[in-house]
Structure 1
């Protein structure tokens, strides 16, 4: 039968229902990113979620199919008969440990004071596991699982459990091995939920507080450097201390205000302790990498390494942002020699002048941004 070309694309996108198959539905869901009020924080929370979900998926292996990424959650499907409770626990704990190890890594390496980045320490992970028949709907080249059991699994993410970190297994799946009791360290509690159009759903759940305490610790950061009595260059700036810090911390954006800097290149679009940034100046290239950041209500301290191969220099730059009031701060910066040999006097004088120029340019840039489309990320009512 001849089909006019105009209809061919339409026909290929008509949903087609495939045969129903039994499957295990596993949904790890992240909680904690809920109070973001600025675009910057939303962008940063998205980056954090992407890194966490990537770590979770790598921990799954080939056991489950990643059916969909649903914002802060991952929909995992395993076709076939129900897994044992031991298999479920192993899968969930692998994901749980990968999630919290990555969360700890991000917390240890972050240099951003925004709400999203600071909230990393509070992130939690919950699991919903269910088993039953699901239907696959094919739309073009996409396959989507659907059916009542899929709806039940998603509804269970909203429940009356007084915690955001737990493993929930529906009763029928939990009882698969009722004649072969499983011994584990979790304390299981029976509960149920009543949902409109679904009815009562019985389940067991166990809190994961103890499991979180057993997540491996990270190795200590290797970010020590020698400190001397080099004087700071100081400059008052009429801007909030957090906003001024964000301008300095935004290494890719420094070409807009740092004297002589033409461009910044980097391997990944993020700034964190250990990230590498290639800064091309008019007559040399510097390799910059953040070392540490400490934050309080009144001050931000930030340090980064700077290696300039052409000049055989290894430096550390320190930046201090002291709050004066909501709309002004006191900025200080200095360089330290992190190399084996003393810095020649003429080069030392040149570096000292560059620090002075940097402070002046930063202050001018902040004043220039006032009243422009520049939207301070952290000044909140």
Structure 2
């Protein structure tokens, strides 16, 4: 066996664990959905914001896009301000695709709203001046899949098409673009039904070496009516997307906040927690990530915000990462002073959707989270009141 054969064999061995869901045609091509959410305003925001936290915010937003995955899409590449997803096999129905686009947009914008609330921060000021929003490109075609060690490389004309469609003739910066390659797989009636909340328009663009490429597009702006109001103790998120527990705790409000934000104390009050892992040099900073060993597994948390309003009510917010059943979920801790020695704590678990179509599984998971919150708040009260 020659050197070239050895290299090819090594590449095949490195990718042997990959499972593909579609068989290749005689020419080696497989049908695939190509899906690119792209952050509009990314470059200007990074270059002109002047905030050292700007790149970390963009990294958080890219993670939001990845965790909002409802269609079992695979990540092929992260390309600075965009993520190239793909799914081999037949195209998803337009109804499911639109639900995916709506979920990504809402999760993305709701996270930005959370950051914008902190009017005293550099990031909030930068976001007020440099708008970040989202456009989503969808194409269906055929690709060649090359396995290069542990990496999957997509190649072919349709991969070029979906990247070129990022540059188009659409006015505005937040929209869904569907190539004719995808549109032709759906019925006109289903297309109209799925976009009843907006207008599906016709468009096209000319590209060198590709010619005229037709597409349909719809602006995402109408979805802004569905965005969460700025979170506070007075807002009431939709019942279907929040679990809440509340308890009076016999300690001053500032003391309770210090206990909540002390990562080292998590195993002492959080239900099922046995250990916590974090960089001690970053403890106490917003944006810090830490891991909690819990119920024979591990959950990733990230501090997002610590806030106090004009009435002295305190709020502490954490994002839960890699929580597959509840993607892009958040924990809100609202602390309201009752008197000098007592405060009222409300813990809210907010989520965009549950990653299961099975009603029994959804009910069971919600019950488990509700029980987890109840036991955790009782444990927290016990730790605080022993001081």
TM-score (ref. length: structure 2): 0.54
Deviation at residue 12 of structure 1 after TM alignment: 3.7
Which structure 2 residues correspond to residues 27-46 of structure 1 after superposition, within 5 A?
Answer: 27-35=36-44, 41=50, 43-46=52-55
- Which residue does the alignment assign to 1:190? 202
Which structure 2 residues correspond to residues 52-201 of structure 1 after superposition, within 5 A?
Answer: 52-61=61-70, 63-109=72-118, 111-113=120-122, 117-119=126-128, 122-178=131-187, 180-181=189-190, 182-183=192-193, 184-201=196-213
Cα deviations across residues 244-293 of structure 1 (Å, max 9, x unaligned)? Answer: xxxxxxxxxxxxxxxxxxx974448x537x999xxxxxxxxxxxx95359
Distance across 2 between alignment mates of 1:180 and 1:114: 44
SS at match of 2:181: helix
TM-score (ref. length: structure 1): 0.55
Which structure 2 residues correspond to residues 235-250 of structure 1 after superposition, within 5 A?
Answer: none
SS at match of 1:55: helix
After superposition, the Cα gap between the structure-2 partners of 1:292 and 1:116, relative to the gap in structure 1 and judged at 3 Å, is same
Residue 215 (structure 2) aligned to one of 200, 203, 223: 203
Distance across 2 between alignment mates of 1:135 and 1:10: 16
8 Å Cα contact 1:170-1:204 kept in structure 2: yes
Deviation at residue 125 of structure 1 after TM alignment: 0.4
SS at match of 2:44: coil
- Which residue does the alignment assign to 2:30? 21
- Which residue does the alignment assign to 1:271? 286
SS at match of 1:160: coil
Distance across 2 between alignment mates of 1:194 and 1:26: 20
8 Å Cα contact 2:71-2:100 kept in structure 1: no
After superposition, the Cα gap between the structure-2 partners of 1:11 and 1:127, relative to the gap in structure 1 and judged at 3 Å, is same
Deviation at residue 112 of structure 1 after TM alignment: 2.9
Deviation at residue 41 of structure 1 after TM alignment: 3.6
Name stretches of at least 5 consecutive residues in structure 2 with no aligned partner: 16-23, 235-251, 254-278, 291-304, 316-337, 342-387
Q: Give the CA RMSD over aligned residues.
A: 4.1
- Which residue does the alignment assign to 1:212? 224
After superposition, the Cα gap between the structure-2 partners of 1:42 and 1:158, relative to the gap in structure 1 and judged at 3 Å, is farther
SS at match of 1:89: helix
Deviation at residue 100 of structure 1 after TM alignment: 0.8
State which drifts further: 104-113 or 71-80. 104-113
Name stretches of at least 5 consecutive residues in structure 1 with no aligned partner: 227-262, 277-288, 295-303, 306-337, 342-381
- Structure 2 residue 320 is the aligned partner of structure 1 residue 340: no
Larger Rg: 1
8 Å Cα contact 1:107-1:121 kept in structure 2: no
